[in-house]
Structure 1
Amino acid sequence: MNRRTTAASALASVIALTAGPALAGCSTSSDSGPELKVSGAFMPQPVGDDMAAGFLTVQNKGGGADKLTSVTSDISDDITIHESKNQKMQEVKAFDVPADGELDLERGGNHIMFMKLKQKPMQGEKVAVELRFEKSGPIKVELPVKEPTYNPPATMKH
């Protein structure tokens, strides 16, 4: 009887060891968290002394969604994120970064707004910012300051 118990125990162990990896292999990409990467970042040189805008793309290669919740920088203590709808700009609390998708902050659309600038960024400089997300850790990005009318071609964004 001891031999039968040992055989049954060994069989149970084999089943547990083989079922575990098989079940783990069944996980879908939606079970993974966000995997964020930033590209195409820039800031047009502001025409005034007190306001500027920032643009970039947040790519999410992961299976989990995230949200951009805030932006910080030494250049301003008053930075907000804005959406543009019906040719009107309004502040929002967060932007969705969809799973296996991207968040585009671009001219004429959603963007970062820098108010009460401490100094006016000039073309050729870089503005350091930190993007903060609901789930992912912060991402530090440098926004190259471009000419005031700069708008990257669609093929250059990524």
Structure 2
Amino acid sequence: MDSRNYTKLECSKLYNSLSCIPLILKDKNTIIDLWNDTTVAGTIHDVDGFMNITMINVVFIDQQGKMRPLDNFFVLARNVKYIHIPNEVDVTQALEKLFNKKPRDMKDKQPQKSFKLKRAQKYQLETLRELAAQQENQESDEASQGTSSENTA
């Protein structure tokens, strides 16, 4: 996603719902219609995993059409009715780019081995060594028997 640290619940909501739409519109100018028939136009600055949106350089348009310029504005997810996607944004390409990234904490991270797994692997290696030793003993016994039978003949 981005440099922000999301909780597991936020990641789940981002990947399994439309909460990712404002995330792909981050740092882009857009218009958000709210359920109370007001509109907010501005630049999306930050989005959390629950689709709460922080916008900057905002123009707030109320029900009567009056415009009020604001420096920043916070929109709760439950108040969002529509998010207008700008024409220059290719949604499918942006979503592919977003979802093909690995989260920072999962890059090159090896899963930790449990005590039970470590013990099982240790016993497996010991068994393999014992089998290899037995096989060497059998081969050496067969070789020694083969040379002694040739000497007697």
TM over 0.5: no
> TM-score, length-normalised on structure 1?
0.23
> TM-score, length-normalised on structure 2?
0.24
- Pick the structure with more strand per residue: 1
Structure number with bigger Rg = 2
